[in-house]
Amino acid sequence: MVDPGSIGGAGLGRALGGGAAKVIVGRRAAKYIAMGAAEVSLRVVDGAQDGLKTGWRHGLAGLWSGGLDFAGSVGGFRPWRRASVTIIVREIVASAPRTPTGKDLVSLDAQCRIVRLRTATAWLELAVAPPYRLEWVLHRIWPASGTLGR
């Protein structure tokens, strides 16, 4: 029997657990994408936005033309959701998406891509991690009367 605490056991556990996790996350993402939603992270960069703060808040966003309905997770536990807040997007600055750096890496997946969104009251950052695609999320919330890029 392999000791789970040994190097071989840890590698085996990562291989089995990592593969299972990818399958579970992929299935959950496929379900949400079919509903027009995605798991994203949002934070306020400047200004104020109901339901958000300056730290990253992770949750589920229902995506629609011109905005999103965001329900943040409670304590990082996905099944527990905060009340949904509607965010109307006025502008998307997506010309040069960035990746997480420094302090962001404590809260975000290193493979995230981050863009800025402008609302009537704030500048926000939107982070999208695999298996979701940033381009798909942005296409869903493209503001009808806003601008993309800067």
Burial bucket for residue 33 (CB in 10 Å: 0-12, 13-18, 19+): middle
Rounded to whole angstroms, what are the CA distances from 52 to 31, 73, 78, 113, 133? 25, 12, 17, 19, 22
pLDDT above 80 (res 23) = no
Mean pLDDT of 17-46: 85
Torsion of CA 81, 22, 107, 100, to 10 degrees: -130
d(CA 5, CA 38): 36
Q: For 63-82, write each residue's pLDDT tens digit.
A: 999 999 999 887 665 666 77
Average pLDDT, the chain: 82
CATH architecture assignment, domain 37-148: Roll (2.30)
Q: Are the C-beta atoms of residues 73 and 91 closer than 8 Å to each other?
A: no
DSSP 76-101: TEEEEEPPPEEEE-SEEEEEEEE---
% pLDDT > 90, the chain: 60
d(CA 101, CA 86): 28
Task: Return the beta strands (E) in 1-150 as ranges.
Answer: 37-47, 57-64, 67-74, 77-81, 85-88, 91-98, 113-118, 122-128, 147-148
